[in-house]
Amino acid sequence: MDRSLYVGMTGASQILQAQAVLAQNLANVSTNGFRADLHAFSAVPIDGPGFPTRVNAVAGLAGFSTASGMIMHSGAPLDVAIRGKGWFAVQAQDGTEAYTRAGDLHITADGTLVTAAGLPVMGDGGPINVPPSDNVVIGADGTITVVPQGVGAKGAGAVARLKLVNPPEAQLVKGADGLVRTKDGIPAPADALVQVEGGALETSNVNAPRALVEMISLSRLFDMQTKLMSTAEQNAASAQKLLSAA
């Protein structure tokens, strides 16, 4: 079998993987704080006897985009968006500490502060618990101030502080659950310089028009690979006829 047929098949399958990454990004274009996955193609020569005339194009994840999304004002007291660089610390389902930019928070019946996905939000001393209160305000530094029920504004006080971190981007990796973690698994220290904006949410950083254009481009590349396989099959058939007639 001509290696060009194998090259075409490999290229088509890798393009499908790249399209899957783009489809995942487009599906999360409305997900608050979502960070787009990146993909890249690399050229891998095919080893074997003969001249090195065939090269595979292999697709793979190339990390995630750390660009900031737009900040949209919602007015909800428990909505918070990070200004510039930084992350909210949350407790993942496996109990480990992870990071997100999704700041659409709410309080459960037992007082636990959680994300829209139900993950407990971490403070300086662990998951944050908010006592029954008439009003909750999150300050620019992440301090949570409440007015206890039946006490009045004079009884307001701070009950916790969001754990805000800003580890080097090179030390971060995005998991299948959409959360970001440090590569070595060691929790990042809190960073007092990270600031938040209350009553606002950060949108996804997926550039939908660019992703659609790239999807169309990949579709055309897929057609080229299938044509390559068809041409290789036709060449093989023609060669077989010539050999039969000889």
pTM summary value: 0.80
Can you tell me the distance from the alpha carbon of 22 to that of 216, in angstroms, rounded to the nearest whole number? Answer: 11
Confidence (pLDDT) at 179: 96
Distance of CA 245 to the CA centre of its chain: 59
Can you tell me the distance from the alpha carbon of 191 to that of 194, in angstroms, rounded to the nearest whole number? Answer: 6
- Quick one: which of 139, 136, 143, 72 has its CA closest to 102? 72
Write out residues in the chain with pLDDT < 50, as ranges: none
Collapsing DSSP states into helix, strand and coil, what is residue 82? strand
| Lookup: tokens for 217 | 């481009």
